[in-house]
Structure 1
Amino acid sequence: METINSKKSSHNHEHDHDHHEGHSHSHDHGNSAVILFFVGLAAFLAAFFLQEGSFLQNSLFVGAMLLSGYHIIIEGIGDTFKESKRQRKFVPNVHILMTLAALGATFIGNYEEGALLILIFAAAHFLEEYAEGRSKREITNLLKMNPTEARLIQADGSVKTVDVSVLKIGDKLQVLNGDQIATDGVILSGVTSIDESSINGESIPREKTVGDEVFGSTINGNGTFTMEVTKDSSDTLFAKILQLVNQSQSNLSKTATRIQKLEPYYVTAVLIIVPIFILMGPSVFQWSWDESIYRGMVFLISASPCALAASAVPATLSGISNLAKRGVLFKGGSFLANLAGIKAVAFDKTGTLTTGKPSVTDYYFEKEKGASEQEWIDIVVAMEKTANHPLANAILTKFTAEKTIAIDVENKIGHGLTAEYEGQVYQIGKPEIFKAVDSEIQVLNLRYSKEGKTVIYFAKNNQVIGLIAMMDVPNTNSKEVINYLKSQNVHTTMITGDSEITGQAVGNLIGIDEVIGNVLPENKAAIVQSLQEKYGTVAMLGDGVNDAPALVTADIGVAMGDGTDIAIDVADAVLMQNDLTKFSYAYKVSKRLDRVVWQNIIFSMMIVVLLVILNILGKMDITIGVIAHEGSTILVILNGLRLLIPTK
């Protein structure tokens, strides 16, 4: 487990490092900045009712600029100073460019344009923060979907429901049927069967009794038991998902990070070009010094990369928010952005492609003189109802008794279930314990076994008269998702610890490209590596501890939300409801995000080029430049916010 955590630690560190190299402008300014913005906006609007060019009107414009944009000015100067000091070189940002442009416009007497520039830029900034806040809210709302409580047994024997985070080693817990086990521990009293597919990948529930170990996040069956906590539960699912909120905001997409890395170089270039442009005005373009300074200010505004800086981040955060609302949590924008480029997907079988629980697929009962198939079913149901057999739920789900039979059942280890009814002895158990078997039943057993199914026999007086075949069947969405991925030319592989026969049986049902069976947990990561070498970018979907190394190795690890804490901890994304269609939906959102980001980049750069050319030709003034430039920034952000709308 230490190896897994240490690997993931470095994995996450790399992404964090990428982020911090670029400078992020997404800051939470709080209510004071919003209030000052609207005060500044009010001052700006009030100025229009005063005499044009008067001292009071110009003062209101300057006041509007300082009030609505004080956080822009502070970030422009403050962040440039901090980053320059940290990196020991001049590292300006787009905020200082906007500050200089507004001050320059004011310096040449265009007070209204300077205020307008800051107002629109600040509005775009708040719009970007709205996208970020929306994403945080959607992710935080999903916390309600996860169990975070345990039934703590008090010193006086009473039971109190408490938060999982308060549990301590040595605490006694009551676990009722169907409960999700809160943390790791040992059974003190009671007998039950527990679905441990999220831990060991096995689809058949395990019988547990006094002294047996139980694991957090596994699902209790029909029994009730008490347990003692053996591990600290501070590292709960609740805490892990809170970490997701922070990670998803800090880990930007590669495109966003690349843009942010280029930003200081771009801004530095503009700051160098503007004075050269002003100095060249009189000699090259035959402008007066006043016009040259004016055109320099327009150039400064036109060349500012506001729209470019906003091309990726709001779109990425909107995509994360869209998915969070639908039960898909991404730990960072880079994972969502990269999902569009996957060439292969590896799936764990149990609990990912399959339901994780056995279901009756086939059955056969011999017909005796005077006895119908339903009579045998009535006896089977009566026997299974009183048993604590791990396959009982599958049988009881499939069969319905017409006649209620009172029957005493004995569960003998190695002999299955035995019962006596109307002078006859009936038995349910594995094929190996029976000797008197008709050829027809033997043939069926062989056929079902080759199909990867678990077979049990039903006997009367030691003569087998029926059989029931069970299998962990594919979940309802597996085939649809596999078909969609294949239509996108994405190779699909199923990795399972089950036999090749069992794996192939499931693979044939859902149409998967490749099945790899008999895989030990430690070999799953190696298979993912081989897929990476063969196909390129690979995603891995799994839900158990045995999937954790493979989830780390994959370019994008996706954990099923009903899986173990460790799988969710090391994964890059989580499907909260174990719904595979959420994965194909995430892939569609990722493809859409890629298109939107490139639309924004191309559009924003075209606007910059157009404004610069029009400025050189003398076809544009500061007001048009401000509106066109900052308007394009708002359009880019609004285009990104389209990703909040559900993807078809």
Structure 2
Amino acid sequence: METTKKHTHDSTKEKGHNHDHEHDHGKSPVILFFVGLAIFLSAFFVNEGTLLQNILFVSAMLLSGYHIVLEGVVDTINDTKERGKFTPNVHILMTLAALGATIIGKYEEGALLIIIFAAAHFLEEYAEGRSKREITNLLKMNPTEARLIQSDGKVETVDVSDLKIGDKLQVLNGDQIATDGIIISGSTSIDESSINGESIPREKTVGDEVFGSTINGNGAFTMEVTKDSSDTVFAKVLQLVNQSQSNLSKTATKIQKLAPHYVTAVLILVPLFIVIGPFLFNWTWDESFYRGMVFLISASPCALAASAVPATLSGISNLAKRGVLFKGGSYLANLATIKSVAFDKTGTLTKGKPSVTDFYFLTGSTDMKEQDCIDVIVAMEKTANHPLANAILKNFKAEKELALTVENEIGKGLVTTYQGSTYQIGKPENFTLVNPQINAHNEQYAKEGKTVVYFAKDDEVIGLIAMMDVPNKNAKTVVSYLKSQGIHTTMITGDAELTGQAVGRQIGIDEVVGNVLPENKAAIIKDQQERYGSVAMLGDGVNDAPALVTADIGVAMGDGTDIAIDVADAVLMQNDLTKFSYAYSISKRLDRVVWQNIIFSMFIVFLLITLNIFGKMDITIGIIAHEGSTLLVILNGLRLLIPSRE
């Protein structure tokens, strides 16, 4: 499926390229590289030092590295014109080094340099392409067509961009769902892995929400469009993908900015090195020029330039495959520096829906058994339509199906008559005749932050049900992990302080801030920043948006609102908190790998330069050691594609 024009992506722009330029090499340079490599190897089968052998080495150099030469010369000229100052790149250093090796008759070494550098160059591009694949593959999944049901009942295939909110669509077996909507007839199972990373299909029926780009299973259904194609959840995922490819980490950005200055310094030092060699080290001019070429190769920042970008993109790819999308490498890199994490309570640390936690009935002092009470309660709550009723119906099952006429009376709650008695379900404050045992249970549950409703027969309370928005099953594990990393944890909630503290105790959170108005959440984040430093915020609602923006790293829960996803720096495509702790562990690994690469690459440069000055380095060893370090740095970055065990 091709990408619609609304979400086109220029795949030729590899902004993460380590040499600070953008190219689409295609297949031709790769083919020519292997042709050049074959010629290079064949040169060893002719007489050594002959004109034919030298011609073969030069041919190998030109075929394998012509794109290196072009990028070195052309990009340097173009970047210099664009920026108004001399802006060389690493390729120009390699071109000059190969040219210098040829001038002094080291044809084999010049060819070897270009071949290894080109191989490292292609490997890095492969590494970057491999790292991006998990997220850029999403671009190919953007739906383009839909089966629109016309007013006369006929079905017409139309472009997704032509759809309007309220349109009716037919979705057949195996179809890609065109846009977000609601099922109005039929049932099916849908593969939603493109949205939430979950491989197991979800069962869907009338009233359930479906998402654009997901794949329908064996069933067929009719849906109503609820969002414009540019506002779907998948469209927002695509926006994240585009941002993640253009936003580099601070370290990668600094390296890219440093590279032209570093290369300029090397271009200045090499002639000086050659000129002072005979005077300072008593070298001949030929030896000084030779040492100058070795210095040029040794000092080139190839490995340094590859230290951050492949590793960062590998980390982003690793997380994208697991349903965690970052808007850029800088946000992933900065996650390792957080000192405090603030959580919204409802829907983030908790399930977002109340559940029955406790109940108590005075069956000993009444002629009603516990199941009799439950039968009446279920029959009454079936007529209601609110979260507490849903929680009660989910927890209790009736043995007798009672057909009751139920009234929702202001100041009383639900009221019905059954077998000559009046039954009532409502808030505790609606009742006066309350047994001390009921009061004791109510006080206990209230201290635990639970919401209590009473059940009464003929104005006498004979039972109560306690409900609570219970913690997310992973909340305690994630909070414990963060605390083990020395990170302060805070829960922010609009609920009463007592309710918040009750949830906080269950999951072991450090600090609970209750009775918070939506407009005050951002102020709490600022206070946390002053007290602890870098702060991450996790939330899922519209009222979390200001806090997500204020935080150093804003993380939206994928089942949350569009506005939360829009303003966040990262999105957990499923409401799975363990994915946040996993992202943190990947961020820490990224930080370690990047610094390993930087230290190793600079150590190799200093080592080779030092050995060269003392005459302990020849051009062949210099080439192998220098380009080999570049290959190792790239491969070290690719390790971030491997799932973290932390």
Fold in common (TM above 0.5): yes
1:69-109 per-position Cα deviation (integer Å, ceiling 9, x unaligned): 23322222222222212221111111211121122212222
Aligned to 2:630: 633
Aligned to 2:354: 358
Q: Does 1:622 align with 2:622?
A: no
Aligned equivalents of 1:587, 1:80: Cα separation in 2: 39
How many aligned residue pairs are there? 593
Aligned-residue offset at 1:459: 2.4
- Correspondence list, 1:393-404, <5 A: 393-401=390-398, 403-404=399-400
Match of 1:451 among 444, 448, 451: 448
Q: Does 1:317 align with 2:310?
A: no
Q: Does 1:378 align with 2:395?
A: no
Aligned to 1:531: 528
Match of 1:598 among 595, 616, 619: 595
- Report if aligned partners of 2:179, 2:225 keep a CA contact under 8 Å in 1: no
**Which residue identity lines up with residue 400 of structure 1 in the other structure?**
K
Aligned-residue offset at 1:565: 1.7
Q: Does 1:492 align with 2:489?
A: yes
Aligned equivalents of 2:142, 2:69: Cα separation in 1: 43
- Report if aligned partners of 2:135, 2:317 keep a CA contact under 8 Å in 1: yes
**Which residue identity lines up with residue 324 of structure 1 in the other structure?**
A
Aligned-residue offset at 1:625: 0.6
Match of 2:270 among 263, 268, 274: 274
Aligned to 2:36: 40
Aligned to 2:553: 556
* SS of residue paired to 1:469: strand
Aligned to 2:51: 55
Aligned-residue offset at 1:354: 0.8
* SS of residue paired to 1:448: helix
Change in Cα spacing, 1:89 to 1:21, as seen in structure 2 (3 Å) is: farther
Stretch moving more, 27-36 or 516-525 = 27-36
Aligned-residue offset at 1:119: 1.7
Aligned to 2:333: 337
Change in Cα spacing, 1:434 to 1:242, as seen in structure 2 (3 Å) is: same
Aligned-residue offset at 1:145: 11
Aligned-residue offset at 1:342: 0.7
- Report if aligned partners of 2:353, 2:387 keep a CA contact under 8 Å in 1: no
1:203-241 per-position Cα deviation (integer Å, ceiling 9, x unaligned): xxxxxxxxxxx9999xxxxxx999885x74523221221
Q: Does 1:81 align with 2:77?
A: yes
**Which residue identity lines up with residue 573 of structure 2 in the other structure?**
M
Aligned-residue offset at 1:387: 4.2
- Report if aligned partners of 1:143, 1:238 keep a CA contact under 8 Å in 2: no
Change in Cα spacing, 1:160 to 1:430, as seen in structure 2 (3 Å) is: farther
Aligned to 2:203: none
**Which residue identity lines up with residue 284 of structure 2 in the other structure?**
S
- Correspondence list, 1:219-368, <5 A: 232-367=228-363, 368=365
Aligned-residue offset at 1:554: 1.0
Aligned-residue offset at 1:317: 1.2
Change in Cα spacing, 1:582 to 1:628, as seen in structure 2 (3 Å) is: same
Aligned to 1:507: 504
1:285-310 per-position Cα deviation (integer Å, ceiling 9, x unaligned): 22222222111111100110111111
* SS of residue paired to 1:583: helix
**Which residue identity lines up with residue 316 of structure 1 in the other structure?**
T
Aligned to 2:61: 65
Aligned-residue offset at 1:26: 6.5
- Report if aligned partners of 2:406, 2:414 keep a CA contact under 8 Å in 1: yes
Aligned equivalents of 1:546, 1:585: Cα separation in 2: 26
Q: Does 1:427 align with 2:413?
A: no
Change in Cα spacing, 1:473 to 1:137, as seen in structure 2 (3 Å) is: same
RMSD: 3.5
Match of 2:515 among 515, 518, 532: 518
Stretch moving more, 602-611 or 165-174 = 165-174
Change in Cα spacing, 1:181 to 1:143, as seen in structure 2 (3 Å) is: closer
- Report if aligned partners of 1:21, 1:261 keep a CA contact under 8 Å in 2: no
Name structure 2 gaps, 5 residues minimum: 1-14, 172-176, 185-208, 213-220
1:436-489 per-position Cα deviation (integer Å, ceiling 9, x unaligned): 433332333343234322222222233322111111111011111111111221
- Report if aligned partners of 1:135, 1:324 keep a CA contact under 8 Å in 2: no
Aligned to 1:14: none
TM-score (norm 2): 0.84
Stretch moving more, 163-172 or 106-115 = 163-172
* SS of residue paired to 1:30: coil
Aligned equivalents of 1:145, 1:87: Cα separation in 2: 38
- Correspondence list, 1:124-203, <5 A: 124-140=120-136, 154-156=150-152, 166-169=162-165, 171=167
Change in Cα spacing, 1:147 to 1:379, as seen in structure 2 (3 Å) is: farther
Change in Cα spacing, 1:26 to 1:537, as seen in structure 2 (3 Å) is: farther
Name structure 1 gaps, 5 residues minimum: 1-18, 189-213, 218-223
Aligned equivalents of 2:450, 2:617: Cα separation in 1: 76
